[in-house]
Structure 1
Amino acid sequence: MAPLTGRLAPLGKPLTYVLKALAPQLEHVRNGSSRYDVSVAVRDSRSDPAAARQAVHDLVTTDRAHIVLTMAGTQVLPAVADACEELRVPCLSTTFPWQAYVHARGAAPGHHFQWTYHFAWGLDDIATVFAEMWEQTGGTHTIGCLWNDDLQGSLLRHDRYGFAPVTSARGHDMADLGPYREPAGDFRTQVGRMREYGADIVTSAATAADLSLFHRQARQAGLRPRLITCSRWLTYPHTHTTTAPDVHAELADARVATLVYWSPAHPYRSSLDGTTCADLAHAYRRDTGESWLQPLGLAHALVETAHHALSTADDPTDHAAIARALAGTALPTIAGTLDWKRGPTPNIALVRLAGGQWHPGPKGPDLAIVTNTQTPDVPITGELQPT
């Protein structure tokens, strides 16, 4: 299940690329002494929750899927997972903070889903990495929080699962600049609150277009954040999420810092064929003419894990057996070791985070890794550059 069309389509490219690249290795799986032929069916979520639910139904009833793979979409991904849970078919997903994955489905941490499994990082992990980068600019800070009025924003504000429990313990003061509706038309109220609170650093989960608008209006008001940290859309190069040249110029000037869950510098290998992170990034650029994207490594790990589950399930044609195999998986992948037996909550395997900053480069934005406390095996590739 991939967003082939609609607003999430740029994020569907890594999964479709990986499926094509690994096609020869996905023609069959060996399970014990038996060999099973495998068919891969791809359905378009159309970047829409209702369309995604219908597509899951088609995958299960028409294509007779034994396992569903998906990634991307604050609303789409939970819709896919819920549909799989209702249809009693195993689902594996990624690229979505695990607290949001649980809460978007009407549950709380500790809840056990029977059929649906996920691997990602937590909001607390993002907060830790962002705080490390704030502290590289010196001491503690008043942080202006530019968060929307949707699920992502409400969870970032959550008094137990959001940023505050992590960042307040480190001495930072979180100043909420006020919720906004996406896409935003005006941030003058939020800019005014930034001045009122004396916030010198801003953290957000905004789209490229919205963050660009905020930065421009802040500059026009005579304010310039020393650092902007942004998750969600800005984990990708802003040149991939919008075609607007003015947005590109504004965000290049802002030098946004973000979380890094995968890069060519990560020292991991594919469990399928030994491909390294650098190999995968190089092949993607060679084959598509585009720069690597962080979801590329997670898409590859998604397929690796599904292949492993089919290879180790008691019966790879039985949905319940595949779900049990996923629950017991601890697998070294190109995105690091994924271990569903360790948590942090049922149905979740944790992906460790580094911190990076987008630096201007001759071929577009370049993501330099500037902090690696949680991932010491990932090399630092650049220095944080406050504005």
Structure 2
Amino acid sequence: MTRMVPTGIDRRALLKSSVAAGAALTTGVAMPAIAQTRPIKLGYVSPQTGPLAAFAEADNFIIANFKETTKAGIKLGSATLPVEVVVKDSQSNPNRAAQVAKDLIVQDKIDVMLVASTPETTNPVSTQCEIEEVPCISTVAPWQPWFIGRQADPAGGPPAWKNFNYTYHFFWGLEDVIAVFTNMWSQVPTNKSVGGLFPNDGDGNAWGDKQVGFPPVLEKAGYKLTDSGRYQNLTDNFSAQISAFKNANAEIITGVVLPPDFTTFWKQALQQGFRPKVASIGKAILFPVAVEALGKDGNNLSSEVWWSPNHPFKSSLTGTSARELAASYESATKKQWTQPIGFVHALFEVAVDVLKRAPQRDAKAMVGAVAATNLDTVVGKVQWSGANLPPFATKNVAKTPLVGGQWRVKDGNKYDIVITDNRTAPNIPAGGKMEAIG
């Protein structure tokens, strides 16, 4: 005979209560004590393959270091428990990200979800955690695509600005990257004509949004933006965009572009005789390998800098400085440091801090601990205090500092990024001034 679950009863809650009751009956031990003896399980999702793979280049290093740091376990209350990290690859695909998140929750039974790197990964994972009522901490996506991108009204109306109960995010916002970019642009004499490269994805739609993105802020600051329209990622022909920018006499280019797409755009632009004075590009040229792929044509390209060896912060887990962490990565991998190192490390810092303050590992207790976080990490202070945020985002978003930098050739085709504007975060030292692209 088939047993029916009565309507109106949450299946997940029913399953939890049934398991708890069964365990209590068969063991005679209260569930909190059982929970205290099992290993801590952290789920981690990032785009380890596909066009966004550069964001996850340092993952293996960071996770190996974390496992070494916590090999004796983490003390939660009176117990010291082993830690397991279950890693999943989103393959740079939002549908895949949602599926592996569900697998981590349902099959692996993780305690906390950690997720990094662009809205295409952070958003579907966060949404899955919200549905399943599992604490989730995310980073490496501007807060607007993460928060506003998950507010869509199914009926097609305006966002309702609902808060989230289980998902929390730390990073910077579009207001910060716009300030950083315009601060850098002000150092180079230009005609203030800007060409915008905004793809049809979570980042591109947010950056190009006429209400919360670049257009209204640039207009107010006296810039003329030529938005060439949304293009599909992994396109192989940017002639239409280049033609529009040339017709507008754009001396500045900006946008948020996949690494392979910017390589295609920049090579085609130079071939077609279009060389702006400034190119400040999010996402695409965050990584040394992406700039090196351009050879000498990568010199003086600029981008936001969320983390670098020059950031004056230390890890709450190990006491390691930003400079020491970057040097350790370079020594272990023989590769140049990359910006996500700091933020992936900080994800695990926050997770451990939260678990120590919610040793019972009850989901609601843990999200309460996340909300109460006040932690100095290797990327700066992480605190969901609502500072410098609009009222609707204060619960779920914490902001971290942002500066701007420019890539300079140092040895052959090897590049280093020089922080060229720190007005948004004066405690992070600048190393030079902006130069026009030659």
TM-score (norm 2): 0.81
- Greater alpha carbon shift after TM alignment, 318-327 vs 180-189: 180-189
**After TM superposition, where is structure 1 displaced by more than 4 Å over at least 4 residues in a row?**
107-110
Residue aligning to 1:84: 129
Question: AA paired with 2:319?
Answer: G
Aligned match for 2:68, one of 24, 30, 51: 24
Helix, strand or coil: the match of 2:87?
A: coil
Helix, strand or coil: the match of 1:20?
A: helix
Percent identical residues: 32
Aligned match for 2:249, one of 174, 198, 208: 198
Assess if the C-alpha contact under 8 Å between 2:151 and 2:160 holds in 1. Answer: no
Distance 2:355 2:432 in 1: 40
Residue aligning to 1:308: 353
Residue aligning to 1:271: 316
Residue aligning to 1:361: 410
Question: AA paired with 1:213?
Answer: T
Find out whether 1:158 has 2:209 as its counterpart: yes
Change (3 A) 1:4 1:190: closer
Helix, strand or coil: the match of 1:384?
A: coil
Distance 2:283 2:364 in 1: 33
TM-score (norm 1): 0.92
Distance 1:182 1:89 in 2: 31
Assess if the C-alpha contact under 8 Å between 2:51 and 2:260 holds in 1. Answer: no
Question: AA paired with 1:190?
Answer: Q
Q: CA RMSD in A?
A: 2.1
Aligned match for 1:347, one of 380, 396, 399: 396
Listed as ranges, the matches of 1:33-112 within 5 Å are 33-107=78-152, 108=159, 110-112=161-163
After superposition, the C-alpha distances for 1:67-94 in whole angstroms (9 at most, x for unaligned) are: 0111114322211111111111001111
Residue 33 of structure 1 deviates from its aligned partner by 4.3
Residue 34 of structure 1 deviates from its aligned partner by 4.3
Q: Which runs of 5+ in 1 are unaligned?
A: none
Aligned match for 1:299, one of 341, 344, 362: 344
Assess if the C-alpha contact under 8 Å between 1:149 and 1:180 holds in 2. Answer: yes
Q: Which runs of 5+ in 2 are unaligned?
A: 1-44, 153-158
Assess if the C-alpha contact under 8 Å between 1:140 and 1:171 holds in 2. Answer: no
Distance 2:294 2:273 in 1: 21
- Greater alpha carbon shift after TM alignment, 128-137 vs 376-385: 376-385
Helix, strand or coil: the match of 1:85?
A: helix
Change (3 A) 1:336 1:140: farther
Residue 211 of structure 1 deviates from its aligned partner by 2.3
Assess if the C-alpha contact under 8 Å between 2:191 and 2:251 holds in 1. Answer: no
Distance 2:93 2:237 in 1: 26
- Greater alpha carbon shift after TM alignment, 292-301 vs 334-343: 334-343
Q: Which structure has the greater CA radius of gyration? A: 2
After superposition, the C-alpha distances for 1:312-351 in whole angstroms (9 at most, x for unaligned) are: 12x4421111111101112110000011122522211101
Distance 1:40 1:219 in 2: 45
Find out whether 1:135 has 2:186 as its counterpart: yes
Distance 1:88 1:297 in 2: 27
